[in-house]
Amino acid sequence: MSDDAVLLIGPYDFRPGARTLYEPVENLRIQLTYKEAATLKCLYRASGRPVSRQKMLEEVWGWNPTARTHTLEQHIYLLRRKIEPDPRCPTVLVSGSSGYSLGHFEEDDTA
């Protein structure tokens, strides 16, 4: 995935290289941390399929003995507060028994 790519995630244009989300209707720009951008890239690559918590820890944090499921849950919580219209009822970053996935997944052929 190119750093110059523009990926569609829910209502957002996601620019992984710039670590930003842009919502054109509200003209809203959200700056992401490195881990938040890596989390969204990991989920985007899964094409809407759930990604297990363990797989996300491996892909986003790499081998790190201090990275635990609680670490991931805390990052997801903070990311949802940034990107969800109502973080209590997530529609962009959804969770289930199999892990996390992106809701409203749309593939952009121009990326």
* 109 within domain boundaries: no
Listed residue (29, 32, 60) closest to 16, CA to CA: 32
| Structural domain boundaries, residue 94 | 34-102
- The answer to whether residue 63 sits within a structural domain is yes
Split into its structural domains, the chain has a count of 1
pLDDT for 28-82, tens place per residue?
999 999 999 999 999 999 988 999 998 999 999 887 777 778 889 999 999 999 9
HSE-CB of 102 using CA atoms within 13 angstroms:
22
Residue 50 lies in a domain: yes
pTM greater than 0.75 (yes/no): yes
